[in-house]
Amino acid sequence: MGLVGGVAPNFTADAIINGGDSVNNFSLDQFIGNKYVILFFYPKDFTFVCPSELHAFQNKLHEFEKRDCQLVGCSTDTAETHWGWLQVPKSKGGIQGITYPLIADSDKLISDAYDVLNGEYDYNEDGDLIATGSMIAYRGLFLIDKDGVIQHQLVNNLPLGRNVDEALRILDALKFHEANGEVCPANWKPGDDGMKDTHAGVADYLSSH
């Protein structure tokens, strides 16, 4: 079920920030009223496609930051595994140089809450998640506005990497709509005209006929 239009699921988790600092109470609450958030999930540390995505986001980090947007990555690995991968140079398949937060969803509850958990699982009578197969996250991406509401959701299967420029474009589209009250047509990009939202007028017409 899609999460667009609803409040982003809340969580507190271990994370690695600033390329190597460990924190144990990371939450998106710190950004509400302050920043947009791009929260993206990736399957697993020490794999092949994942570092290309993480480095691609890092390469455009300044573009997100100048739009008041915080990048946050998440996988079902532990914080220790994140830290270990951050020590490995890019030339050797590592993610050294990544500075945005990496959340450790080792109990899989965040991935489940965002409906991107791949694998067979259930909950026991204590509410604990019990896995019966490989439990990793699909390549989910969520744009969360400053009110904590999910405005965009994209989920790719495991082999399919994402387009970072498209994440920037959709962020620009949201900011344009908020600033101008206009909607963004197909293939809209910064500098293009928007369209007046006539949805309310259509609704009024239908209700009177």
**Known catalytic membership, residue 50:** yes
Greatest CA span in the chain, whole angstroms?
66
Report the C-alpha gap between 187 and 152 in whole angstroms: 15
- By the 8 A CB rule, do 38 and 133 touch? no
Report the C-alpha gap between 1 and 179 in whole angstroms: 29
Report the C-alpha gap between 206 and 43 in whole angstroms: 46
Helices 49-59, 164-180: axis angle to 10 degrees equals: 40
- By the 8 A CB rule, do 110 and 129 touch? no
Residue in the block written with tokens 């950004």: 31
The SS3 of residue 115 is: coil
Residue in the block written with tokens 């009578």: 125
* Active-site hit among 50, 69, 74, 184: 50
- By the 8 A CB rule, do 45 and 33 touch? no
Report the C-alpha gap between 103 and 12 in whole angstroms: 9
Q: Which residues are marked as active site?
A: 50
